[in-house]
Chain A
């Protein structure tokens, strides 16, 4: 199970809506307790592709985020990105580029009026939806 604070969800949603139709992206960090992940901080990063169908996290901002996580005693938990006009599921490209099987990959879809956020575990090019609790 992965847990996300409601205010962090709102932060992701607001940024993704602002960036649309360009894909928005960022990192998630927090703590791990057994099989549960607790997201304590959401990072908004620049999509250096500035594209509607691709994203790449800005490496310099990624470095700064990793340092901030360490300074705050948080561990990297994965990343998030938006799909402005497609469903909340990993594309083939998303799966191919998901190198870290320990990470959670969150995808926020804005294609319908009601946004949909899902979290996935990706291993051997197979994506499995994780139980996500927004509280």
Chain B
């Protein structure tokens, strides 16, 4: 099946999950990655159960934030 990952169409075997895709794509620091499938945000605890289907579009977004605690 074909999945578009970060704008690039790629072919994968059927039965692919978001967790497996993260592994196959060698996503760095996956614990800080937010995933969207067809523009819908996937709950971070459900990557292993979220199945992908032919034609899906997936984006990986890195959490971006910071802070300035008192006294720093």
Which A residues form the contact surface with B (CB < 8 A)?
A: 23, 25, 27, 49, 51, 53-57, 59-60, 62-63, 66, 70, 79, 81, 83, 86, 90-94, 97-100
A-B contacts, 13 of them at CB < 8 A, read A53-B70, A54-B65, A55-B65, A63-B39, A91-B68, A91-B72, A92-B69, A92-B72, A93-B66, A94-B67, A94-B68, A97-B64, A99-B28
Q: Which residues of A contact B70 (CB under 8 A)?
A: 53
Alpha-carbon distance between A51 and B66 when the two chains are bound, in angstroms: 11
Q: What distance in Å separates the Cβ of B49 from its nearest Cβ neighbour in chain A?
A: 21
Q: Which residue of B lies closest to A92 (CB)?
A: B72
Q: Are A59 and B61 in contact (CB under 8 A)?
A: yes
Alpha-carbon distance between A62 and B41 when the two chains are bound, in angstroms: 12
Taking chain A's interface residues, is the majority helix, strand, or loop, or is none over half, making it mixed?
mixed
Which B residues form the contact surface with A (CB < 8 A)?
A: 7, 28-29, 32, 34, 36, 39, 41, 59, 61-70, 72
Q: Are B65 and A49 in contact (CB under 8 A)?
A: yes
Q: Are A91 and B61 in contact (CB under 8 A)?
A: no
Q: Are A99 and B63 in contact (CB under 8 A)?
A: yes
